[in-house]
Amino acid sequence: MGKIKKSNLVLFCVSIVICLFVSLPGFTYAAPIHSGPQFVDGYYADPDVQIYNGTYWVYPTRSTQVGESGTGAKSVDIFSSTDMVNWTKYSNVISSANISWLQHSLWAPNGAYRDGKYYIYFAANAINGDGQLGGIGVAVADNPQGPYTDAIGAPLINVVRNGAGPMDQDVFFDDDGQAYMYYGSWGECNVVKLNADMKSLGTWPDGTVYKKVTPTKTGDNDYFEAPKVFKRNGIYYLTYAAGVWADSSYKVMYATSSSVTGPFVPKGIMLHTDTTTADGPGHNGIVKSPTTNDWYIFYHKRYLNSPQRVLAFDKFEFNADNTIIPVEMAVEDNFDDGNDTGWTKYGGTWTVSGGQYHVASNPGAKALLDTNFSNMIYEADVTPGSTGNAGLVFRVSNPGTGSDAYQGYYAGLDVPNQKVLIGKANNNWTSLATASMSLTANAKYHVKIVAQDESIKVYVDDMTIPKISVTDSTYIGGSIGVRTYDSAAKFDNISVQSSQYETENLSVSATSGVKHTMFGNGTGRDLNLSGGYGTTLEANGVNDYVTYTVNVPEARSYSVRVGVKKGPNRGQFQLSVNDVNHGSVQDLYSTGLNYTELNVANIIFSSAGNKSFKFNVAGKNGSSSGYNLLLDYIKLVPN
């Protein structure tokens, strides 16, 4: 796992979280940007993350194991790493053996450090009202790996106040050293003061103990659970989970405030389901590198075809106005962690060593990642052996063990015949094209697949001119992976991203200061133009505008397509990119409400990176009653 190159699929999801870190002596390694498919083996959720003495510590919920059915996990495992690549596991640091009142359901641990002591705050016993044994507990140790003991022999918080369930706690230290605990499920959030002993609650100046800080509710993606707080540039960020934890609606939102006690104003989504990559990401922790300005979000997700949750992390960044650039759930693996966690093998002998994925010669062995890409840019380093061929499979479905036991496409490097090949399988093999190329056994080649609708291009080393271009529409989507056919091969630097780039509501502003709101349900890429997140600009007149920050993935020509909702009070807009107008004026007036996708302009970008897409109100149709713009998304489709 680790960084290969930054994935360029930009999604709309705005929200941030942090778990307190204590930054002591640091280190100088180059930290990865992404975790790969997952960063530790096993099923875990709800990760908190801290830094102690230059080491990252992750505190997750452990999945239920054999013998715990119906009662939930009764212990906590934690993980540490100095490089965010190699992780050490510490099992059962908290369990029923050292928490006397623990009966069932131990979850959502959160770490903290003060005055030479390490603390883990946790939820247990899943109470639903006062007078029950359970709630938020605290354990203490002299070392981050434990052993931990119960700090008070009873729950620290075992009551329901302001409708907030006593769970999903997060400790935050303000600049003056005062410790606060944010917590709450069931749609409400409280904050309490922690006394200096870290195991008792203080009071507010008005004599109360529990203060409600639930972010303002709008009726759309409101706070549900899992608060995390951090401070940056004098702004308090509260991140939280919205949606239902067990399905694809689960996501990370964020709100901001100028005060530790709010009011917290929702700003949008940071992380949500990506139908090509992973489902229901959320309940996260956030940390800043002790040596750089890099920020990371740790979270759980589910693979597309599994109900189990696994842990991942990604780097994220801020806009100049202190809003958060949405998180990318990258599909990347460079095997630096020495394992192939997240890969499913079909035949053959697969091993990881030397930062590469090795497979022994086999008639048709393959390894797949649980993804569902249709239009994509898929890249990897392929080292073929002296016999047979080796390469990449994509748009794969119905995989099995056997040389052609799958449906999908395969592009391979054939050393004996000195050629690049592409074909398709459906329990038999159909060749689509070949191209001559000088190939050397056991030499590394960089292979790129660009699949857009029925067009498929295969690049080898030269990333500007394809070796093969074919047209085939048999298979439209599925998993990606690697394959060998009678070749002992190696693979490295796996990276796949959608080639149909969509970005939603990344950065919004209006000259008039009028309302700009969000609409839609935001459960993933809005393929039907009716379910994504968009921005409503209630414009007053000409020259009001909305801006989006768009991460253009590579220097090339794109068709810029914009999803809109037309209506009787809509205006006209002119698109500009970095203050240069493109395309013609677009009119959103319609007698009825309807979604549509506009092909706004063809633009050649000379460089990759963030660009400012501005939608400037240029006027209105004579029949329109207003100047409003409803923009659902932006797609960049490679030409």
Write down the catalytic residue from 46, 337, 370, 404: 46
Q: Which long-range contacts (CB under 8 A, 24 or more apart) does 450-455 make?
A: 450/376, 450/377, 450/499, 450/638, 451/373, 451/374, 451/375, 451/376, 451/378, 451/394, 451/395, 451/409, 451/499, 452/375, 452/499, 452/500, 452/637, 452/638, 453/375
DSSP H stretches of helix in 185-249: none
210 vs 33, higher pLDDT: 210
What tens digit of pLDDT does each residue of 316-344 get?
A: 999 888 988 878 788 999 999 999 999 99
Q: Which of 228, 216, 226, 267 is nearest to 250 (CA)?
A: 226
With cut-offs at 50, 70 and 90, classify the pLDDT of residue 384: very high
Mean of pLDDT over the chain: 88
Active site residue 454: no
With cut-offs at 50, 70 and 90, classify the pLDDT of residue 516: low
Domain range list for the chain: 46-329, 343-498, 500-638
* pLDDT number for residue 22: 31
Active site residue 538: no
CATH superfamily entry for domain 500-638: Galactose-binding domain-like (2.60.120.260)
Cβ contact 65:73 at 8 Å: yes
What tens digit of pLDDT does each residue of 530-553 get?
A: 445 567 888 888 988 888 777 787
What is d(CA 299, CA 312) in angstroms, rounded to the nearest whole number?
Answer: 6
Write down the catalytic residue from 225, 274, 381, 404: 225
Asked if the domains 46-329 and 500-638 are classified in one and the same CATH topology, the answer is: no
Specify the CATH class of 46-329 in words.
mainly beta
DSSP E strands, 17-65:
44-52, 55-62
Cβ contact 395:402 at 8 Å: no
Cβ contact 367:443 at 8 Å: no
CB atoms within 10 A of CB 158: 20
Cβ burial 570-595 (10 Å sphere, 16+ → b, else e): bbbbbbbbeeeeebeebbbbbeeeeb
Specify the CATH class of 343-498 in words.
mainly beta
With cut-offs at 50, 70 and 90, classify the pLDDT of residue 11: very low
Which residues are within 8 A (CB) of 462 and not within 5 positions of it... i.e. 6 or more apart?
A: none
What is d(CA 64, CA 236) in angstroms, rounded to the nearest whole number?
Answer: 35
Token reading at 606: 């000379």
* pLDDT number for residue 8: 31
What tens digit of pLDDT does each residue of 232-268 get?
A: 999 999 999 999 988 888 999 999 999 999 999 999 8
What is d(CA 71, CA 106) in angstroms, rounded to the nearest whole number?
Answer: 9
What is d(CA 313, CA 56) in angstroms, rounded to the nearest whole number?
Answer: 12
What is d(CA 532, CA 634) in angstroms, rounded to the nearest whole number?
Answer: 11
Burial of 232 per CB tally in 10 Å (0-12, 13-18, 19+): middle
61 alpha-carbon distance from chain centroid: 18
What tens digit of pLDDT does each residue of 469-478 get?
A: 999 999 999 9
* pLDDT number for residue 29: 42
Of the listed ranges 404-408, 456-460, 508-512, the least confidently predicted one is 508-512
156 vs 3, higher pLDDT: 156
Cβ contact 447:391 at 8 Å: yes
